Amino acid sequence: MPKLQGFEFWSRTLRGARHVVAPMVDQSELAWRLLSRRHGAQLCYTPMLHAQVFVRDANYRKENLYCEVCPEDRPLIVQFCANDPEVFVQAALLAQDYCDAIDLNLGCPQMIAKRGHYGAFLQDEWDLLQRMILLAHEKLSVPVTCKIRVFPEIDKTVRYAQMLEKAGCQLLTVHGRTKEQKGPLSGAASWEHIKAVRKAVAIPVFANGNIQCLQDVERCLRDTGVQGVMSAEGNLHNPALFEGRSPAVWELAEEYLDIVREHPCPLSYVRAHLFKLWHHTLQVYQQLREELAKVKTLEGIAAVSQELKLRCQEEISRQEGAKPTGDLPFHWICQPYIRPGPREGSKEKAGARSKRALEEEECGTEVLSKNKQKKQLRNPHKTFDPSLKPKYAKCDQCGNPKGNRCVFSLCRGCCKKRASKETADCPGHGLLFKTKLEKSLAWKEAQPELQEPQPAAPGTPGGFSEVMGSALA
């Protein structure tokens, strides 16, 4: 049977899917996909998988894809990150019997993607991407798709999409943000870019970005003309988004935990999902947030979720007949999370500010990041004020902090090189090259001289003649 392509692939294999759950690292596992499908999702992706690890590690394949056959989990697209055509195709060949298509991740903007040279950090290497897509299109029995981020320029984004289509991509997901738009700098996704791509290519297009509720989905389909809409964060905070419902959080939390009992996954995934689902309520009940972070079992997580449910129900009963109060009067309802942006009124342009600059600005306020709050819990005396940190003298050679008792006024690394070269000691760094050499020489002098055995003369007992004679006898 010939491989389906383009719109035929979308309409027949993907069943004309319009409501799509995004590939999310450690968050779109089987249990979450099944929950999302029960509440309106028509197509799901696996979490992003690392192609090279998938090829070499059988356990990685088993844990992420081969764990069990689940007929309800279709249609399904497996997403890989890769930067080598051969490795990408090897991984795809191992996965193609368990899915309906293979997706190449060209959209991940995180620092780990930059270090690993994949995701959105390949978007300028068009020759490499052409070779990867072309080879996969030729070798695989299932279609190859791509998920991309846009360039600032619409025309370059269009040419990028057309290049991928020409290489063999059969479906394109366009996230309407650039690779620089992430975290506090996310901003709004550009549907104009997505609309332009949709008009310029002859393959199905999915839109990603700015999706918080069903009305956003419908508006995006209408405004951009795409075939489907993909949701990531919106889905994590409300898995019933595609149903157009905002149920009580505990309803979906309990359903998800029941699915996890049937289809187990790492506890870290479960905890992360509960943090997203209960996000708004955990702002009200901070103590339970700490308990959720500490529990070590699935039943422990379920117990915290049950306690949150009881607290919310008590609050609801108190509010009956009374006007809701507080900033989050209905925090127990599944609802979008609006990511806070950079501080307003800053003279700097938001797009030009780095994540490091934002972190440094945050350090100057009384509000610490979650990571720093955890460090402060472990060490209440810890300070993050740069002006209060101790000043260290610098190494004369490399500029790193030098040892306070170093005889050479160097850091340990530079001190070790110099002490070794000069056969000297530095007690401050515990380096004793001179002392050890002196002890070694003293030990050798104290030992009796070893007498080397003298060879026996020919003809004498044990000599060459006798040995040869014995051998010939």
Q: Are residues 198 and 314 in the same domain?
A: no
Distance CA 389, CA 129 (A): 47
Task: Judge whether 98 and 61 are in contact, CB under 8 Å.
Answer: no
Residue 346 has pLDDT above 80, yes or no: no
* Same domain as 305, residue 157: no
The identity of residue 94, as a single letter, is L
Of the candidates 199, 216, 245, which is a domain's last residue? 245
Nearest to 197 by CA among 188, 189, 206: 206
Selected residue with higher pLDDT from 181 and 356: 181
276 and 232 in a common domain: no
pLDDT at 120 over 70: yes
One domain for residues 403 and 263: no
The two tokens of residue 422 are 């000069």
The verdict on 70 and 218 lying in the same domain is yes
CB 44 within 8 A of CB 36: yes
Do 94 and 138 reside in the same domain of the chain?
yes
Same domain, 217 and 307: no
Do 114 and 234 have their domain in common? yes
pLDDT at 468 over 60: no
Same domain, 212 and 266: no
Is residue 266, in this structure, part of any structural domain at all?
A: yes
- Asked if 149 and 107 count as a contact pair (C-beta separation under 8 A), the reply is yes
CATH classification at residue 119: 3.20.20.70
Q: Report residue 269: phi and psi, to 5°.
A: -65, -45
Q: Is 104 part of a structural domain of the chain?
A: yes
Does the residue 142 lie in any domain? yes
First to last CA, the chain: 82
Point out the least confidently predicted range of 161-165, 169-173, 272-276, 315-319: 315-319
Q: pLDDT tens across 404-431, in order?
A: 888 888 888 889 988 898 999 999 899 9
Q: How confident is the model at residue 35 (pLDDT cuts 50, 70, 90)?
A: very high
443 falls in which pLDDT band (50, 70, 90)? confident
Predicted confidence (pLDDT) at residue 122 exceeds the cutoff of 90: yes
| Secondary structure class of 205 (helix, strand, coil) | strand
* Residue 286 placed within a domain: yes
Is position 309 within any domain? Answer: yes
Count how many Cα atoms sit within 13 Å of the Cα of residue 396 in the half-sphere of its side chain: 8
Q: Is the dihedral of CA 169, 173, 178, 179 positive or negative?
A: negative
Does 299 lie in the same domain as 237? Answer: no
List the helix and strand counts (H, then E) for the chain: 21, 11
How many structural domains compose the chain?
3
Least confidently predicted of 38-42, 147-151, 313-317, 467-471: 467-471
In a domain, 132, yes or no: yes
- The tokens for 340 are 């806070």
List 81's β-bridge partners, or say none. Answer: 50
The whole domain housing 262 covers 258-319
* Residue 435 resides in a domain: no
Tokens 């309409």 sit on residue:
11
Residues 229, 276 share a domain: no
Residues classed as catalytic: 108
Residues 186-240: pLDDT tens digits? 889 999 999 999 999 999 999 999 999 999 999 999 999 999 999 999 999 999 9
Share of the chain above pLDDT 70, in %: 85
In a domain, 424, yes or no: yes
Residues 222, 263 share a domain:
no
